[in-house]
Amino acid sequence: MNTTDSEVFVDTKFLLHRVKFSILLILQIPAFILSLLIFFFFIKHRTIREAPHNRALLILLIVNFIQLLFAIPLSLSFYAVGYVSPATPTFCTWWTFFDFTLYVTSEYLMATISVQRHMLVFNGHILRIRWKRILFHHLPLVFCLTYPITFYVFVIILYPCEGAPWDYGSNLCGAADCYLVFNKFLGTFDWGFNNGLPMVINALANIMLIVRVVQQKKRQQRPVTWKQQRRMTVQLFCISSLYLVIWSPSLIVGLVQILGFPTFLADVQTEYFVFILDTICLFLPWICIGLLPELLVWIKTLCRCQQRHNAVGSVITRTQLNK
């Protein structure tokens, strides 16, 4: 590569980083505001907050909010300067640990929400029994929060390895943790069990929920129309498709790399697919609005009250001026 080609490559990469920085920042601001509105909504409405079907959702939103506050700013910092800072193995180790843990926790929580919804819709009486509520509702949530932390402490923080091939010119240091680069079994297990499995469960659970609802309505001899099922179908499709669409390219490329082709689409993985993963937490608050119809009503009420307050203030101001 001659000097001209090198300059063009650097300019192109700089422009690409500028675009990514702008996209993340533009999406982060409304996602942050919307998350705060959702939290205020839960605080104001105790009954809704303590409803069984909203507990896991609230935990998911808290994890997502942590990503918005800490994980996204790290990516923004990288795209702003064009390199990892500080460029040290310790920083890369903790950055990947933090990101991977939040990613997997979010995936497992979403999959758990989808599975638990079957029980809440068709067997809601189960949660009235204390030991069943603990077994089928509380323990899965505890697993979602503790398993990812435990797993990545062992494979990232405590994994015995020296000379990890960190790439300080790539976001997330190129995700070059030793267990992914040098341990085929752990790498495959991570991508398959920690990322692929919850995504598949999420998609299948939502599809099966639609099938069960339709079948139950048919057994009850009630007419099933697309208008009646549209809202539920769109909600479930958005939940499953968000993770399916965004995670699938990265999962496929990662598995191919682990199974013997470490350079397969390596640049595309680090430059594009890792970046796309960051958008999950930016879009998730918008999807959660569809899961909380009461929230939409509350937001609309706030907007009307604000408009009335502004209108009253304007009238008072004009009256004072006329005097």
More confident residue, 309 or 280: 280
Tell me the C-alpha distance between 195 and 119, whole Å.
Answer: 24
Q: How many domains does the chain have?
A: 1
Strand residues in the chain grouped as ranges (E): none
pLDDT value, residue 4: 57
Tell me the C-alpha distance between 142 and 93, whole Å.
Answer: 25
pLDDT band for position 23 (cuts 50, 70, 90): very high
CATH code for position 113: 1.20.1070.10
User: Does residue 311 belong to any structural domain of this protein?
Assistant: no
User: Does residue 315 belong to any structural domain of this protein?
Assistant: no
Most confident of 106-115, 118-127, 138-147, 173-182: 138-147
pLDDT at residue 323 greater than cutoff 50: yes
The answer to whether the beta carbons of residues 162 and 141 sit under 8 Å apart is no
How large is the average pLDDT for residues 271-287? 86
User: Does residue 299 belong to any structural domain of this protein?
Assistant: no
User: Does residue 72 belong to any structural domain of this protein?
Assistant: yes
Range(s) of the domain holding residue 72 = 3-294
Cα end-to-end distance, the chain, whole Å: 77
What percent of the chain shows pLDDT beyond 70? Answer: 80
pLDDT value, residue 317: 54
Burial class of residue 76, CB neighbours in 10 A (0-12, 13-18, 19+): middle
Q: What is the pLDDT of residues 89-106, one digit of tens each?
A: 999 999 999 999 999 999
User: Does residue 313 belong to any structural domain of this protein?
Assistant: no
More confident residue, 158 or 299: 158
pLDDT at residue 132 greater than cutoff 70: yes
CA dihedral angle for residue 42, residue 43, residue 48, residue 50, rounded to 10 degrees: 110
pLDDT value, residue 176: 84
pLDDT band for position 272 (cuts 50, 70, 90): confident
Taking every pair of C-alpha atoms in the chain, what is the biggest distance, in angstroms?
Answer: 83
pLDDT at residue 21 greater than cutoff 90: yes
The answer to whether the beta carbons of residues 262 and 183 sit under 8 Å apart is no
- What phi and psi values does residue 134 have, to the nearest 5 degrees? -70, -45
User: Does residue 310 belong to any structural domain of this protein?
Assistant: no
Tell me the C-alpha distance between 241 and 202, whole Å.
Answer: 9
What tokens does 119 get? Answer: 């029980």
- What phi and psi values does residue 265 have, to the nearest 5 degrees? 50, 35
pLDDT band for position 231 (cuts 50, 70, 90): low
pLDDT value, residue 226: 46
What percent of the chain shows pLDDT beyond 90? Answer: 24
User: Does residue 127 belong to any structural domain of this protein?
Assistant: yes
How large is the average pLDDT for residues 246-260? 79
* Mean of per-residue pLDDT scores for the chain: 80
> What are the angstrom distances between the C-alpha of 312 and each of 298, 303, 309, 317?
21, 14, 5, 9
pLDDT at residue 224 greater than cutoff 90: no
pLDDT at residue 123 greater than cutoff 70: no
pLDDT value, residue 230: 55
DSSP helix/strand/coil, 313 = helix
pLDDT at residue 179 greater than cutoff 70: yes
User: Does residue 179 belong to any structural domain of this protein?
Assistant: yes
What tokens does 14 get? Answer: 């700089």
pLDDT band for position 28 (cuts 50, 70, 90): very high
How large is the average pLDDT for residues 33-52? 85
pLDDT value, residue 256: 81
